[in-house]
Structure 1
């Protein structure tokens, strides 16, 4: 009996934790880019491929450089049906994307982890 209560308690805690994380996520949009160096934050330093550029509203004169975000695709913004893979990716902000069409401009590899690149632009939830 105690074992069943423990299992139920663990499941309830997991569900509540997931709901809290979803509530803390911020909606936005994402695009992708393919030329990673040089970057506004790190110049010619290679930072791998799970990276992103921040749009003007997030940039804050570069204060966002080096911060990491968990990004999840939540749906299409155009006629590409079902672009999302159901996965989440963690990216490091390494660049500025002035005037870009999305909240975050993900590396192609990061974008492809969470969505079909054919979509070009997707709806996302992101959190630091």
Structure 2
């Protein structure tokens, strides 16, 4: 089911299930928080960085997120919108990573269980 998402392969799907065995029992926000969070609070003026996640999950999802951000129409729109706003590449990758995990949870909980692209 997870490999039906364009840009995710069998290795990534197996790694997601291995690194997140509780993926089907958590709420969407909880699963997205496992991917990564940027540390930028209030009027933070310093350089932001990623924290509070499972490092192996970040490593596994990095290249698929790059591919999904370039070739999947939905995620490409998100990528283009955020880069047009001037967001740094690391922040955009983090956002797409979180969205990808939310989509994966929705696929696992859904009735059909396969990725179906929306018609424009």
Q: TM-score range by the shorter chain?
A: under 0.3
Q: Which has the higher strand share?
A: 1
Instruction: Choose 1 or 2 for highest CA Rg.
Output: 1
